Structure 1
Amino acid sequence: MARLDIRDREGHLGWVAITRESSILGRDPSCHIVVNDEQASRRHGEIVFHEGAYWIRDLDSTNGTYVNGERIDAFALTDGDNIRVGTHIIVFRDGEAEEAEAKPEGEAASPGVKAAIDDDEAAQILRQASRNAAAGGGKSDQEFYVAEIGELLQTRVAEDSLCLALLDLVVRSANGHRAGFVFRREDGDLAAVYARSRQGDAAGWMPDVDTAARAVDRRMSFITGAAPGQQLETEARSVMVAPLRSRGRAIGAVVVESSDVDAFDNDDLRLLTIIGDEAGYAVAQNRLARRHMTGQRMEGVSRTMAGLLQVLAESVRSLKTGSELVQDGIGAESFERVAGGLEKVKDGVEHLSKITHDLSEFVGETPGERQAANINELVGNVMDVMRGRAEEANVEVEVQADESVAPAHLDPMGVYRAIKSLVHAGLKAATKAPRGKVIVATAMSPD
């Protein structure tokens, strides 16, 4: 597979795979290959496959595109050609070539720098691991960890648990002594979020955001190490970084540090890149599912509020109708009207009590603690309210109360509402039968 080995002006090396589709190079973040260089144009050049060869074409860039030292408009690339875009030196590799050693003339090579792995190669390793597992063959260390990644990502866990488990796997699979995740926040900035060490807790350490930003901005993995007498930004002597990718977009990076200079090799970087790709996709899916769940919850809240408003409107109607009947009954000296009005008022009060209790449960502040109450009395109170409705529905109601039932510590309002709901459901079902009957019985549990 063809690739571009890229060394920036700071000497950091990475590589990206190119396909036979058009690839735009430039400073704009939307480009397929981002060249973070002020001397590069926003859309600097294009690499295309044409008539059996890869071509690079300049897109009217301000400072020009150079191949092997000469400015070009279009050029057919061969293995080893040096391309200069701004201050970046890019070496074209056609196939499985060795790592590029391209650097500006007279500049010393950057110490301890290794290349990355592309998505296609990561997928190939995953497929090979699956084939080996299906054939019952032994796994290499890399295939073992790839299989472990797959098993971990199949579990439905919260994002923090998933990320910490992945970091434990990273620390075990690489020769690092600590690792961390850096994620892109909603405001676009990067922030270190999770960290683990070989001992478990990272003791307050978090990965360096600037180091992670290089992997995110360039969408490349890399290893950087300290030369003799040189110090990195941290006390670590070797750092390995891979972007967290999801659907072609870098949402963060995974950073591994070691106190050893030569702790990491290409196999470690290959595995870390796979973990970055898999973890990035898993975290993105987790967040998508969480947003979907939040939307469902908000929809549920809307439905709940609509139901409460309906009950509230019914309560207001009952209170208004009841008060009018009471006033008319008093004026007409009709006891029946007064009694009917009071019944309506009682219904309205019941509805308001239900709303109050439901809202209190909704906000987690259910009023009233458990207290001693007689279940038979609660049944009696319910039947006082529901008996009139039973008569209207022409349904017979019978109470079979066990007098041996002793008072118990319970939530009286909750039990009252539960009994009333059951009786209401019974009345509704009994109206469908020619001679419906509802029996409410109490008894002591044998337990």
Structure 2
Amino acid sequence: MPYLSWMEGSQPFRHAVVEDLCVLGRDPLGCGLSRPGQGTVSPVHAVLSKTEGAWWVKDLGSISGTTLNGHAVGSAPEGPLRDGDELALGSWRLTFTHGFPGLDGTTFAEHVGDLFDEIRLQSDRPAWYLAELKQLYGATERLLGEADSNTLGRALLEESLRLTSADRGLFVARLEPGGWRVIHAAGEATEELAPPASVLAYVARECTSILSNQPLADPRFEEASALEDSPGCFLCAPLMEEGQAFSALYLERQPGGIPFTRLDLATLQAFSRRGVLVLRQARLQRKAVEQAEQQGELLRLRKQIQQDSECRDELLAAMVGSVRRIQSWVREQQDPEGDTLRFHLERLAALVEEGRCQDDPRTPAATGQSLGLASLQEDLALRWRSLLDLRGIRWKADPPPQGAVWWLGGSLLLALDGLVEPLVMQLSPGAELTVRWGHEPGRYLLGIQFSAGLQGPSPDGWSQRVLKESGIRWRWADRLLEVLLPEGPEAMPDEPMRPLLGLVSEDLGLVGLFQAVAEAGDMGLLPLESEPPPPPLPIHRFLVIDAKGTPDAEATIRAYRRHPAFATTPILVVRCAEGDTPGLIEAGATDWLADGFGWEALHQRLRVLQGHTELRQRALAAERLESFRQMAGTLKHEINNPLAVISMQVEMLQRKYPEEAKLAKIGEMVDRIQGLLQVLQKMRETPTEGYADGSSILKLG
């Protein structure tokens, strides 16, 4: 970081140039660095600007002009500036330095050169310095030989102590919200001892290693109270990655001992740079191992799936043999029981065969065709006749209309059996089953009316899936099952869009993992940015925010919570530190997972979140229903009282004027309102009736 320094009497002043543009002059409002009260300095005198890593100076038309090392500076940029250049703005003399000004290079030092440059400056003892180089390379080799990546920080600290002959040292890590934490301590140090915060802040800000042999007199740390417990001397080197310090080495010697030298600082600087490379290599190796473990787990799961599939095929094959033997035993029975057994054995054999061919790519998919309503009704009558006769249930069917439906064939009849037969089994002997046809735009309605009260259809999962994939929907109300059959392929219902799993992360390595989790949960994966896109958006079942893959996880959570599409969406934060979870939950996160989670943990956590969401939705629906019932009772009470008065007055008027037609019409309207009040009463007392898709209604009649 560059500095501008000057003297006012015997008092030195320093200004760190932290912006890419620094205006110099007398006006404190218009200048980044000002010196009020100096008449020889113009209000806006000169400017320093940074271009391609170098600093330049130009005059802004000042009265007294600007000079650089005694030479006038024009309106065009002059430079680039070099360390130690002197600027004159009227009577104001400033010195430009690339580092902190006023360091003597011995008692206080930083920005030292490469280790070989420092050795070259100390050429009077070449043998001793060659021994130092040998120690450095030996320490690097021992560091590279460290097998456990978790102990690399301690090894780096211990080798640094050995190289610099320091008494004690600390390896500290920088925390994301701010501050530092001691990771390892060596020598005479303990983990309770922490480096001065001002020292760590300085090396992180300046991106340089520093030496201080007199900490209390060090001009870089004006708050001497922060260094009261400092030793006789110390070294501090940041571990840099991508231009930022993520860790630091802090080494000390006791008071009265030998001070550190520039060569010690250069050695620590060189070794810390090598340590960064070793740490980076260790992280890459650990990541490679994790990827190998994930690949191994994937191979294990694939093998397990293959074994399960082979076991399933063997079981299904054994079931086919058993079904065929039972079929041969009941072939001679000609009574209704035998017909029913043969029908269900054929259905069971077809279902087993369907299971065996489910994963066979050679099995052709069912093709659609037009099927006449008369043929369909005849097929259904033949399939259900034996069961109806066995149960003693009467079958009554109206003649079908002239028309056809789009029929995919395959296992569709078996799935339709799975929808209707559980209802038939609930009927008592002597009951009646009536089939009627209806029509809506684009589809025919096969209506099956049952004569007794039933609980409603509850088909198995396989039957529901086949009916849905074939474009067939159904509905149930007042003992009437209506099967909706499309007239043609254009009338097939559109497949609803799958809910989405949103992912906010800049780490592309997570996309594959979350894609697999999304597919397992029948969701689509949609990568998102830290700022949510404008509405409207499709439905998101979950939103996952990667704490390590976003600049500010809490701000991202708040931004999405303000978005109308994510106001109630469960938000899972992954790869977050445990200490950050209170702030994340306060920002609006629903749950969190620490770093190192696997596929199973992520999948299970999303399933738990989905269960919680469903329970909350059911609770809200029940609360709304209860509120609706209370409102119905209140309306009935509030309307019934004035309606009774109106009814009484109308009755009295009808007795007095029996031929008045308008009074009779008013009486009819009063009766109609009273009927509506009875409906409101039923809303309070009638339980809900559920559908197979999870929805429910209030049954009023």
Question: How does the TM-score come out when normalised to structure 1?
Answer: 0.49
Relative contact order, higher structure (CA 8 A, sep 6+):
1
